[in-house]
Structure 1
Amino acid sequence: MFYQASTGWAQSAAAKPAPDVIVFTNGDQLTGTLERANGDSFVFKSDVVGEITVTADKIKELHSGGKFVALRNGEKVTRTSKTPGTITYQDSAVTLADTSSSSVIDTVPVKDLSALIDGATYTKEVTGNPGIFQDWTGGLSGGVTLVESTQTGQSFTAAVNLIRLVPSVEFLPPRTRDTIDVLETYGKLTQPVIPQTTPPTPDSVAKTNIFHADAEHDKYLTPRLYGLVGLSYDHNFAQGLNLQQIYGAGIGYTVIETPIQEFDVKVDVHYERQNFVPPTASTDLIGSSFTELYHRTLPRKILFTESGTFIPSWNDPSIYSAIFAAGLQLPTYKRFSLNLNLQDNYLSNPAFGYKDNSFQFVTGVTYTLK
Structure 2
Amino acid sequence: MNLQTFHRTSIFRRFGQTMVLLMVAPLATSRGFAADPPAPPAAGTDVLVFNNGDQLTGKLLRSMAGSVVFHSDMAGDVTVPWDKVKELRTPQQFAVLEKGVKPSRKTPDALVPQGTLTIADQSVQVHTDSGGTTPAIPVKNIDFLIDDATFQSKIKTEPGFFHGWNGTGTFGATIVQATQNTYTFNGAINLVRAIPDVSWLTPRNKTTADFSASYGKITDPSYIQPATVGPPPTPATFVPENTVKTSIYHADAERDEYVSDRVYYLGAVAFDHNFSQSLDLQQIYGGGVGWTIIKQPQQTLDLKALVQYERQSFINALPGEDQNLIGSTFSAAYVRHLPKGLLFSQQVAYIPAWNNLHAYSVNELNTFSIPAYKRLSVTLGTLDSYLNNPAIALPPTKRNSFQFTAGVTYAFK
Answer whether contact 1:350 1:356 (CA < 8 A) is retained. Answer: yes
Answer whether contact 1:85 1:105 (CA < 8 A) is retained. Answer: no
SS in 2 for 1:211: strand
SS in 2 for 1:200: strand
> 1:11-51, CA deviations, whole angstroms, 9 ceiling, x for partnerless residues?
xxxxx852111223332221111111226532212233332
Unaligned stretches of 5+ in structure 1? 1-15
Q: What displacement does 1:91 show? A: 4.4
2:260 corresponds in structure 1 to: 222
Note if 1:103 corresponds to 2:131: yes
Q: State the TM-score, normalized to the length of structure 1.
A: 0.88
Note if 1:261 corresponds to 2:299: yes
Answer whether contact 2:271 2:284 (CA < 8 A) is retained. Answer: yes
CA distance in structure 1 between the aligned counterparts of 2:78 and 2:257, rounded to whole angstroms: 34
Note if 1:362 corresponds to 2:395: no
Worse-matched range after superposition: 75-84 or 200-209: 75-84
Amino acid at match of 1:103: G
SS in 2 for 1:179: strand
Note if 1:93 corresponds to 2:93: no
Answer whether contact 2:47 2:89 (CA < 8 A) is retained. Answer: yes
Q: What displacement does 1:247 show? A: 1.0
Answer whether contact 2:206 2:255 (CA < 8 A) is retained. Answer: yes
Answer whether contact 2:70 2:77 (CA < 8 A) is retained. Answer: yes
Give the one of 168, 171, 174 matched to 2:197.
168
Answer whether contact 2:223 2:240 (CA < 8 A) is retained. Answer: no
Worse-matched range after superposition: 233-242 or 123-132: 123-132
CA distance in structure 2 between the aligned counterparts of 1:41 and 1:300, rounded to whole angstroms: 21
2:37 corresponds in structure 1 to: none
Amino acid at match of 1:133: F
Give the one of 355, 365, 376 matched to 1:336.
376
2:279 corresponds in structure 1 to: 241
Answer whether contact 1:267 1:291 (CA < 8 A) is retained. Answer: yes
CA distance in structure 1 between the aligned counterparts of 2:173 and 2:66, rounded to whole angstroms: 50
Q: What displacement does 1:249 show? A: 1.1
Worse-matched range after superposition: 22-31 or 324-333: 22-31
Amino acid at match of 1:35: L
CA distance in structure 2 between the aligned counterparts of 1:17 and 1:272, rounded to whole angstroms: 65
Q: What displacement does 1:323 show? A: 0.2
Give the one of 35, 42, 55 matched to 2:81.
55
Note if 1:72 corresponds to 2:98: yes
2:10 corresponds in structure 1 to: none
1:18 corresponds in structure 2 to: 44
1:34 corresponds in structure 2 to: 60
Unaligned stretches of 5+ in structure 2? 1-41, 227-235
Give the one of 203, 210, 214 matched to 2:241.
203
CA distance in structure 1 between the aligned counterparts of 2:202 and 2:408, rounded to whole angstroms: 33
1:11 corresponds in structure 2 to: none
Q: What displacement does 1:54 show? A: 2.8
Amino acid at match of 1:94: V
> 1:268-310, CA deviations, whole angstroms, 9 ceiling, x for partnerless residues?
1111111111233321111111111112122321111111111
Note if 1:136 corresponds to 2:165: yes
Answer whether contact 1:44 1:51 (CA < 8 A) is retained. Answer: yes
Name the one with the larger strand percent.
1
Note if 1:177 corresponds to 2:215: no
Q: State the TM-score, normalized to the length of structure 2.
A: 0.79
Note if 1:123 corresponds to 2:157: no
SS in 1 for 2:151: helix
User: Cα gap change, 1:17/1:215 in structure 2, threshold over 3 Å: closer, same or farther?
Assistant: farther
CA distance in structure 2 between the aligned counterparts of 1:279 and 1:57, rounded to whole angstroms: 70
1:10 corresponds in structure 2 to: none
CA distance in structure 2 between the aligned counterparts of 1:67 and 1:350, rounded to whole angstroms: 63
CA distance in structure 2 between the aligned counterparts of 1:79 and 1:17, rounded to whole angstroms: 34
Amino acid at match of 1:357: N
CA distance in structure 2 between the aligned counterparts of 1:322 and 1:60, rounded to whole angstroms: 57
> 1:328-352, CA deviations, whole angstroms, 9 ceiling, x for partnerless residues?
1111111111111010111111111
Answer whether contact 1:342 1:360 (CA < 8 A) is retained. Answer: yes
User: Cα gap change, 1:56/1:149 in structure 2, threshold over 3 Å: closer, same or farther?
Assistant: closer
2:182 corresponds in structure 1 to: 153
Count of equivalent residues: 354
Q: What displacement does 1:233 show? A: 0.5
SS in 1 for 2:239: coil
User: Cα gap change, 1:304/1:40 in structure 2, threshold over 3 Å: closer, same or farther?
Assistant: closer
Amino acid at match of 1:360: Q
1:317 corresponds in structure 2 to: 357
User: Cα gap change, 1:40/1:206 in structure 2, threshold over 3 Å: closer, same or farther?
Assistant: closer
Answer whether contact 1:68 1:116 (CA < 8 A) is retained. Answer: yes
Amino acid at match of 1:144: A
